[in-house]
Structure formats: structure tokens, C-alpha cells
Amino acid sequence: MKKIGVFTSGGDAPGMNAAIRAVVRTCFYNNIQPYGIYEGYKGLIEGDIHPLTSKDVSNIIQRGGTFLKSARCKEFHTKEGRQEAYNNIKKYELDGIVAIGGDGTFTGAKIFNSEFSIPFVGLPGTIDNDLFGTDYTIGYDTALNTVIEAVDKIRDTANSHNRLFIVEVMGRDAGFIALRSGIAVGAEAILVPETQTYINELVTKLESGTKNHKNSMIVIVAEGDDAGGAYKVAEKVKEHCPNYDSRVTILGHIQRGGSPSAMDRVLASRLGNAAVDALLANKTNIMIGVVNNEITYIPFSKATKHHQKLNADLLKLAEVLSF
């Protein structure tokens, strides 16, 4: 291989810049010219493709977001859009592409590869940590620490006023952030999409906390929980417990930003390096992951069809520690 393209797609995640940096540096180590594709699949279609230098990736490992930008691209869902992307790949003579993103990114890469046989390797870049075939995704650890820092501060206020805080975290389809952050902050209840929420059980748990003279109570709610999110949960709790002094906090997109943690920087660096090595070894149409601290390769077909499941032991632990 002489030229390799790299892009980020979907929602941004802390550590994406570190992954890009690793791809670029590994390319230079192997005498390969790296190319940055700006705004993901949109950049492929529009030809927003530029050679990268070592200077381009200097001093970015600590930066959140992605300097290559990210964008949704409806045109790539069409045969005509993918044909234009292929034309640009041939124009710039790219021999392979590293795609950093999530489920949608890999689905697009799988379809594109089946049509044009362009070698693609994917890196799991999503704070949700819901991709099958890797223990951790790029950005997950940083997002967790962002939530923990925010809720620790909320707890100070809750203690000062004997309040119940219902905090909504990201997780439209998966409760990984909610579950681990909830355990880490000592939440009285954790509501996730993977389990059904019964408001009467939640109220019983909160009333138990009141009887045990808890100064404050925290409920962590994943945005995709079946109860309808933090505001809906707060309304339902208020119906049962009108005397509770409760507040709602939605952490929102602060979970996506910020300087990546040491874990995310190292993870992204390992995966970026492994992606180039995989392309050189003629491995394609795969996602690079880490399982039991070892680099793994999983076909896009499996990574996009299956989703990582919540750890049942952690769910049980959360239940035990809430008493």
C-alpha cells in the first residue's frame, strides 16, 4: 500500500484525534502517505481529501473532538453517492481506508466494500460502548469520567438541600454509561434501556432511602430508558411523592467533549496502529477491537448485527449497593 485514507464519522468521541494521529504516524513508519478525509462519507463524496503531514497530527493527542470533522451523509445511502465516493478514491489513488465511528459507519463501509472492493478497516469510536467485538470503545472512558465529575458536584448540592436529583446521561439504545457511572457515584437507582423500569419499585427504593436518613438521593437515567427520560421519570415520581424536593439535570453533549483520558488515548493509539497493520496484512472489512487487553479483528457483519450486552453482574451489584 502506498496511500491510506482516514476519516471520522457519526458522533464525535474523545480520543478520535489520538486514533487519527496513530494512523498517520504508523503510515509514515511504513513509508505510506496518509490522507485525511474531512467530514466522513460526505468528504469522500465531495472530494474533501488532503494529504496529511506529521505536523498535522502534532499536539492533538490531548484534544477532544476530531480535527477531521464529522457529518451525517444522506447521499452515501444512495448508489449514486457511493459511486461518486468511489470515483474520488480512485482519483486520489487510495489503497485502503480507516473508518473511525460506530454502527452506522461500519454499515456504510460494509456496503461500500461489497460494491467496490475497497479495503476498509474500522475503529470503534463511540462513547456508548455498545459495539460487539471490543471490551471498550474510543471515548467511553472519558465520557464516564465526565459524568462522574458532574454528578459528584451535583451530589454536593443535593446533600446541602436534602434533594433528589434525577440525572439523565447519554444512551439512546444502551445503558453502559448509566450503569457504570451510576455505580461509581453511588446512585440510589439506575434506569437503563435494557431493563424495564417500574416507577412503583423506584419509589419504594427512594422511600427506603428516606427512612434510612439519606441526606441526598441520585437517580441516573439513560436517555433511552423506557420510562421516557429524566423529566418523565421526575413527573411520575412527583405523582407518588409530592413532598420530595427534586431536580432534573440533563448532562447532554458535555459527555462527548473534553480532553480524552489516559485510557482512551492509549486505546485509540493501539487501535490506530493496528488498523494500518491490518491493511498491510491484507485484512479488510473488519473492525479492530480490544478483548482481554488483546487486539482482535471482527467482521463488520458481526460488529453491526450484534451489540454488546450489559454485564449482569454489574446490574446485580448496582442493586445490592443501592440499599
Query: Catalytic residue numbers?
Result: 128
Which residues are CB-neighbours of 180 under 8 A, at least 6 positions away? Answer: 144, 314
| Contacts (Cβ under 8 Å, ≥6 apart) of 159 | 215, 216
Side-chain-side CA neighbours of residue 232 (13 Å): 13
Cell of 88: 474520488
Task: For 180, list phi and psi in degrees, rounded to 5.
Answer: -70, -40
Amino acid at 102: G
Chain mean position to CA 18:
15
The string of DSSP codes covering 192-215 is -TTS---HHHHHHHHHHHHHTT-S
Handedness of CA 205, 208, 212, 214 (dihedral sign): positive
Say how many Å lie between the first and final Cα of the chain, rounded: 58
Q: At what angle do helices 176-185 and 312-321 cross, to 10 degrees?
A: 30
